[in-house]
């Protein structure tokens, strides 16, 4: 199971350091069965990443990645810092798609580059616009653009984040999440039906907290969660980790 913490730009560098220290103290040596990944802002990546060395169970990721190996891009993390301090990268978050106009093509380009330098992309997709013939046309288009640019042997992660569930306190209906997870797995399977293709985990994100996480953990096709607001304090994030590590919450 994956638990990803998207800290966005919600914390000062001091608070990011404090939160990472608290998690380091309370998580170290435990929860080896869970993939925990923290996504601090770019200013805090180095500090947080150095705290969780390679022996630690916790991994660190960037909230966005460089567009190309040689592209000079003001506001972007450099390729060398990216490769040095990140194990994962969040790409295609709906806030970036909506506010910055990031296209599927740009997201796919960043994902391919991340894979080239050994960083695992976590690609956020949303419902998109449907058509009369195919209500999931928009979702599939987002996935297919990624699949077209990435070698079928590469590992990546998909996070399904319906826009109306992000930051609203109202999570998506678990039945709908299960249905969408099935469509995501099917689209990936059809596109990369190669024996050596790794399993692609599918996560759910949108107003997940310790109270509602149980309804997402047990869903067929869901391999973890991406948590925003509820990952911003050690207590609340730890409550989620404890639920994920307890088998009784999978029934």
From start to end of the chain, where are the E strands? Answer: 2-6, 35-39, 58-62, 88-91, 120-125, 157-160, 202-205, 224-227
Under 8 Å between Cβ of 66 and 77: yes
Options 28-36, 97-105, 199-207, 214-222: segment touching ligand PEP (CB under 6 A): 199-207
Q: Per CB under 6 A, which region of 73-81, 115-123, 191-199, 228-236 contacts ligand PEP?
A: 228-236
Contact with ligand PEP (CB under 6 A) among 66, 206, 221, 224: 206
How many residues interact with ligand PEP (rule CB under 6 A)? 13
Question: Closest residue to ligand PEP, Cβ-based?
Answer: 228
Tell me how crowded residue 50 is: count the other CB atoms within 10 A of its CB. 11
At closest approach, how far in Å is the CB of 46 from ligand PEP?
Answer: 22
> How many Cα atoms sit within 13 Å of 215 on the Cβ side?
14
Can you tell me which of 166, 180, 203, 234 binds ligand PEP, judged by CB under 6 A? 166
The verdict on whether 161 is a catalytic residue reads yes
Under 8 Å between Cβ of 15 and 222: no
Q: Which of 102, 136, 149, 161 is catalytic?
A: 161
Q: Is 205 in the site for ligand PEP (CB under 6 A)?
A: yes
Is residue 37 part of the contact set for ligand PEP (CB under 6 A)? no
Among 2, 3, 5, 6, binds ligand PEP (CB under 6 A): 6
Q: Give how far the C-alpha of residue 145 lies from the chain's centroid of Cα atoms, to the nearest Å.
A: 18
Rounded Cα distance, 174 and 214, in Å: 10
121: β partners: 89
Residues that bind ligand PEP (CB under 6 A): 6, 161, 166-167, 205-208, 226-230
């Amino acid at each position: 199971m994956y638990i990803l913490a998207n800290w966005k730009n919600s914390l000062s560098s001091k608070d990011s350091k404090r939160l990472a220290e608290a998690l380091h103290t309370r998580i170290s040596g435990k929860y080896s069965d869970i993939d925990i990944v923290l996504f601090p802002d770019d200013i805090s990546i180095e500090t947080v990443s150095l705290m969780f060395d390679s022996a630690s169970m916790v991994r660190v990721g960037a909230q966005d990645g460089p567009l190309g190996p040689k592209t000079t891009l003001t506001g972007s993390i450099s390729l060398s810092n990216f490769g040095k301090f990140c194990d994962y990268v969040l790409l295609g978050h709906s806030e970036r798609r909506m506010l910055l106009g990031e296209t599927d093509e740009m997201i796919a380009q960043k994902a391919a580059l991340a894979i080239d330098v050994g960083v695992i992309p976590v690609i956020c997709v949303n419902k998109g616009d449907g058509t009369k013939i195919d209500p999931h046309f928009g979702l599939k288009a987002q996935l297919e653009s990624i699949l077209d640019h990435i070698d079928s042997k590469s590992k990546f992660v998909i996070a399904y984040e319906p826009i109306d569930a992000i930051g609203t306190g109202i999570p998506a209906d678990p039945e709908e999440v299960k249905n969408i997870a099935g469509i995501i797995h099917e689209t990936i399977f059809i596109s990369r039906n190669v024996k050596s293709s790794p399993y692609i985990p599918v996560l759910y994100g949108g107003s997940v907290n310790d109270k509602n996480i149980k309804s997402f953990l047990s869903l067929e096709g869901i391999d973890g969660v991406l948590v925003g607001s509820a990952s911003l304090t050690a207590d609340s994030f730890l409550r989620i980790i404890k639920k994920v590590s307890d088998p009784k919450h999978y029934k």
